[in-house]
């Protein structure tokens, strides 16, 4: 292969690595001129876009393909300073609350995530085709269906996973379910957040050609765009839908004082779980984006005067009203708030990343930290119970993990350190032999990490008919409950919020002081700490979840629902107990810890 052809292949491999779009969306321009046009258009884009990331494991139910925490710090670190990853079990379906690792099967020594990253960085050919990109037909793909010769196709890209089988947290049987075929649907049926391209980026065979004949096509010779921007081709091709847009426009109202102006947005009851993104363009111009399941509705706002950043915001959990309050730079009454125009866009479920700076990093107990983060001239209000992806490149590989943002406080006297309205809060558990959590929990103010926009499908409004909320939290599973607690406390029809908090010992308990403050001021709220291995001095409850315990602390109620989050054995046990006690599936929701 000629030198320039090798370089082109490497550029295309980088493009494919950053693409999550469909097979059609990864077709290259037909000539160099087309590639140049693509590049020029994308040079105007200042925010990196990525299409939707796929579910949590390669075909294995409840198994994370890339179960690692991540941080991006300004100071570089030696490669050998990154510890190996923990292979402990945990989690059920859904998104990670604190991103702790989970393996369904025990990995052999030397087969951790970091070992896989080192193997990919060693220069060993993991593609099986000497790095020459191929056009792969379905029949050719089907021939590579054995453990010692395993290809898999996801979203139009074919990967050689032969060497990865021994590193897969779910074990060989789960991964082999998709080998030799287009496994996109199998993959998507599990979760909607794992970044499989990162872990398999050194395994790319080429593109899946569904419409070719039975004979495999020759190696692809592609003229790729300049390497100044990664994934140019995939980013410029937008997914389109022929379905009609039905989301109505949210209503807006406003009120002012001499020092402030408040914009009121009335959400849509038929379209709950909206996310909100606010971006400052100038000190009087803003983009306010409503993120619905099918559509984005954007208000381009031009205020009558200059205001300070960031604004204050508040959600009303009864009326679903959102308030955005700006402080005027110059006091006085305006004749009008200004003007705005509305733009509607199809939600292509693309993933965007921004660099966030650490504002504060506070230990909550020996292992769990509360990290407050902020980005520039932008704030995002994440729907309750949904999550974000944190990401860092380690040894040439993007490594990521999901975290459920937590509210800055449950009691107004206990706000997270240095929190402001444009911040986001994460709780991160440190694993001594984890790949990245030691780095994340050691971050200092001013250091940075990458966060995505909000992800997930959980809709808390689906449970608003219930008046009693029970919560079963084991370890860091508590983090998934905090925003639900805040939401329930803000609703008048909720008569009881009952939290059972399971931990190993007293040193494992975190956020107890904040919970105690709510307990002392809110009669509807109760919390019971239960330890499995307490010290002799512990006077509280001991043991694990059991039928007798849940009968005693829950009791039967058709007006109650139960949320649970914790390690896999905990989730399996509680689900069986609740089912045996007669709880319906419509009353239960499991978060993946």
In CATH, what number is assigned to the domain containing residue 485? 3.40.50.80
Other C-beta atoms closer than 10 Å to the C-beta of 244 total: 6
For the segment 537-552, the average pLDDT, to the nearest whole number, is: 93
Pairwise CA distance, residues 128 & 126, whole Å: 6
Structural domain contains residue 569? yes
Summarised one tens digit per residue, pLDDT across range 29-71 is 444 444 444 444 434 433 333 333 333 333 333 333 333 333 3
Which of 182, 203, 236 is the last residue before a domain boundary? 236
Q: Which of 181-190, 358-367, 517-526 has the lowest mean pLDDT?
A: 181-190
Query: Of the candidates 390, 391, 423, which has an alpha carbon nearest to the alpha carbon of residue 406?
Result: 423
pTM listed for this prediction: 0.68
Higher-confidence residue of 276 and 88: namely 276
Whether 219 contacts 134, CB under 8 Å: yes
| Residue where one domain finishes, among candidates 316, 346, 376 | 346
**Confidence label for 400 from pLDDT (cuts 50, 70 and 90):** confident
Residue 239 has pLDDT above 80, yes or no: no
Q: What percentage of the chain reaches a pLDDT higher than 90?
A: 51
Residue 244 reports pLDDT greater than 90: no
DSSP 313-326: EEE-TTT-EEEEEE
Facing residues of 426 across strands? 371
Give the span between the Cα atoms of 174 and 104, in whole angstroms. 10
Give pairs for 545-552: CB < 8 Å, separation 24+: 545/472, 545/500, 545/502, 545/570, 545/573, 545/574, 545/577, 546/577, 547/577, 547/580, 547/581, 549/500, 550/574, 550/577, 550/578, 550/581, 551/581
Pairing of strands 295-303, 312-315: unpaired
481 in helix, strand or coil? Answer: helix
**Does 363 fall in a domain?**
no
Residue 335 falls within a domain, yes or no? yes
In tens, the pLDDT along 246-277 reads 566 788 899 999 999 999 988 666 666 688 99
Residue located via tokens 């400052």:
280
pLDDT in tens, 170-185: 788 888 999 999 988 8
pLDDT of residue 90: 35
Q: Which pLDDT score, from 0 to 100, does residue 47 have? A: 37
Span 170-223, pLDDT tens digits: 788 888 999 999 988 887 766 555 667 778 889 999 999 876 554 444 444 433
Q: What's residue 122's pLDDT?
A: 86
Between the ranges 75-84, 115-124, 282-291, 391-400, where is the mean pLDDT highest?
282-291
> 592 and 566 in contact (C-beta within 8 Å)?
no
Residues 259 and 232 in one domain: no
Under 8 Å between Cβ of 446 and 74: yes
By CB atoms closer than 10 A (0-12, 13-18, 19+), residue 245 is middle
Phi-psi map region of 497: left, alpha, beta (phi>0 left; psi -120 to 50 alpha): beta
Q: What is the DSSP letter of 179?
A: T
User: CA–CA separation, 45 vs 320, rounded Å?
Assistant: 33
Residues 282 and 196 in one domain: no
Is residue 445, in this structure, part of any structural domain at all?
no
Residues pairing with 182 in the sheet: 153
Same domain, 158 and 41: yes
Terminal-to-terminal C-alpha distance of the chain = 48
Verify that 222 and 274 share a domain, yes or no.
no
Query: Strand, coil or helix: what is 205?
Result: strand
In a domain, 492, yes or no: yes
How many structural domains comprise the chain? 3
| Neighbouring-strand partners of residue 472 | 500, 564
* 411 contacts 514 by C-beta, under 8 angstroms: yes
Q: What is the mean pLDDT of the chain?
A: 79
Using the predicted structure, report yes or no on whether residue 433 has a pLDDT greater than 50. yes
Element (H, E) at 90: none
Tell me how far apart the alpha carbons of residues 537 and 539 are, in angstroms, rounded to a whole number.
6
- Mean pLDDT for 467-476 is 96
Q: Is the pLDDT of residue 280 over 70?
A: yes
Give the CA count within 13 Å in the CB-facing half-sphere of 373: 32
Task: Tell which wins on pLDDT, 53 or 342.
Answer: 342
Local structure of 480: helix, strand or coil: helix
Peptide bond before residue 146 is cis, with ω within 30 degrees of 0: no
| The pLDDT of residue 8 is above 50 | no
Helix-strand-coil split of the chain, %, nearest 5: 20, 30, 50
∠ Cα 564 567 569 (to 5°): 95
In this structure, the answer to whether residues 212 and 326 fall within a common structural domain is no
In a shared domain, residues 257 and 174: no
User: 219 and 159, same structural domain?
Assistant: yes
Determine how β-strand 285-291 pairs with β-strand 295-303.
Answer: antiparallel
Last residue of a domain, one of 329, 346, 363: 346
589's tokens: 């929701």
Query: What is the per-residue pLDDT for 77?
Result: 38
Question: 149: domain range?
Answer: 3-67+106-236
Specify if 440 maps to a domain. Answer: no
* Residues 203 and 286 placed together within one structural domain of the fold: no
Is residue 243 a part of any domain in this protein? Answer: no
CATH of the domain at 327: 2.60.40.790
Quick one: 225 and 290 in the same domain?
no
User: Measured between alpha carbons, how far is residue 503 from residues 7, 507, 527, 532, 545 in Å?
Assistant: 53, 9, 13, 6, 11
Residues 227 and 259 in one domain: no
In sequence order, what are the residues at sequence separation of 6 or more whose Cβ sits closer than 8 angstroms to the Cβ of residue 537? none
Q: Which residues touch 17 (CB under 8 Å, ≥6 apart)?
A: 197, 198, 201, 204, 230, 231
111-115, 457-461, 541-545, range with the lowest pLDDT: 111-115
Residues 6+ apart with CB under 8 A from 297: 247, 249, 250, 289, 290, 342, 343, 344
Token couple for 509: 């308990």
Are 40 and 138 in the same domain? yes
CB 417 within 8 A of CB 362: yes
What CATH number corresponds to the domain at position 147? 3.10.120.10
Q: Are residues 512 and 583 in the same domain?
A: yes
In this predicted structure, which of 355-359, 391-395, 431-435, 505-509 has the lowest mean pLDDT?
391-395
60 lies in a domain? yes
């Amino acid at each position: 292969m000629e030198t320039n052809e090798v370089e082109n292949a490497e550029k295309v491999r980088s493009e494919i690595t950053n693409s999550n779009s469909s097979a059609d969306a990864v077709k290259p321009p037909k000539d160099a001129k087309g590639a140049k046009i693509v590049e020029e258009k994308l040079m105007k884009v200042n925010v990196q876009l990525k299409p939707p990331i796929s579910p949590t494991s390669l075909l294995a139910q409840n198994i994370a393909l890339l179960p690692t925490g991540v941080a991006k710090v300004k100071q570089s670190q030696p490669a050998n300073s990154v510890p190996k990853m923990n292979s402990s079990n945990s989690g059920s379906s859904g998104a990670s609350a604190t991103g702790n690792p989970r393996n369904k099967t025990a990995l052999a020594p030397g087969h951790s995530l970091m070992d896989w990253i080192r193997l990919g960085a060693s220069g060993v050919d993991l593609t099986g085709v000497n790095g020459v990109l191929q056009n792969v037909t379905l029949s050719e793909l089907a021939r590579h269906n054995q453990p010692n010769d395993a290809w898999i196709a996801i979203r139009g890209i074919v990967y050689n996973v032969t060497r990865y089988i021994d590193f897969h947290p779910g074990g060989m049987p789960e991964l082999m379910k998709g080998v030799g075929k287009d496994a996109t649907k199998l993959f998507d049926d599990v979760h909607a957040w794992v970044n499989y391209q990162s872990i398999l980026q050194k395994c790319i065979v080429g593109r899946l050609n569904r419409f070719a004949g039975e004979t495999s096509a020759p190696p692809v010779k592609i003229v790729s765009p300049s390497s100044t921007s990664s994934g140019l081709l995939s980013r410029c091709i937008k997914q389109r839908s022929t379905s009609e847009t039905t989301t109505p426009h949210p209503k807006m109202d406003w009120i002012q004082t001499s020092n402030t102006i408040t914009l009121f947005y009335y959400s849509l009851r038929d379209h709950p779980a909206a996310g909100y993104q606010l971006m400052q363009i100038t000190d009087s111009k803003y983009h306010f984006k409503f993120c619905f399941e099918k559509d984005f509705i954007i208000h381009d706002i031009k205020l009558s005067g200059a205001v300070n950043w960031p604004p204050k915001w508040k959600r009303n959990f009864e009326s679903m009203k959102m308030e955005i309050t700006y402080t005027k730079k110059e006091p006085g009454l305006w004749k009008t708030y200004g003007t705005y125009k509305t733009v509607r866009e199809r939600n292509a479920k693309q993933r965007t990343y921004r660099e966030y700076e650490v504002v504060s990093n506070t230990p909550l107990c020996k292992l769990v930290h509360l990290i407050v983060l902020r980005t520039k001239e932008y704030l995002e209000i994440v729907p309750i119970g949904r999550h974000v992806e944190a990401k860092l490149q380690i040894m040439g590989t993007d490594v990521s993990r999901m975290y459920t943002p937590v509210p800055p406080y449950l009691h107004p006297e206990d706000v997270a350190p240095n929190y402001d309205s444009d911040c986001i809060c994460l709780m991160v558990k440190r694993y001594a032999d984890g790949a990245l959590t030691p780095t994340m929990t050691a971050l200092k103010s001013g250091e940075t990490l990458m966060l995505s926009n909000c992800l997930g499908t959980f809709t808390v409004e689906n449970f608003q008919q219930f008046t009693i909320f029970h919560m079963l939290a084991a370890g860091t599973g508590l983090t998934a409950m905090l925003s639900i607690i805040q939401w329930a406390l803000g609703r008048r029809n909720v008569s009881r919020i009952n939290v059972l908090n399971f931990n190993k010992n007293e040193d494992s308990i975190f956020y107890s002081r904040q919970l105690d403050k709510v307990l002392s001021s809110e009669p509807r709220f109760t919390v019971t700490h239960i330890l499995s291995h307490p010290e002799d001095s512990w006077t509280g409850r001991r043991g694990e979840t059991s039928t007798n315990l849940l009968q005693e602390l829950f009791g039967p109620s058709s007006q109650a629902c139960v949320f649970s989050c914790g390690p896999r054995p905990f989730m399996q046990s509680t689900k069986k107990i609740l089912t045996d006690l007669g709880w319906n599936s419509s009353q239960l929701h499991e978060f993946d810890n």
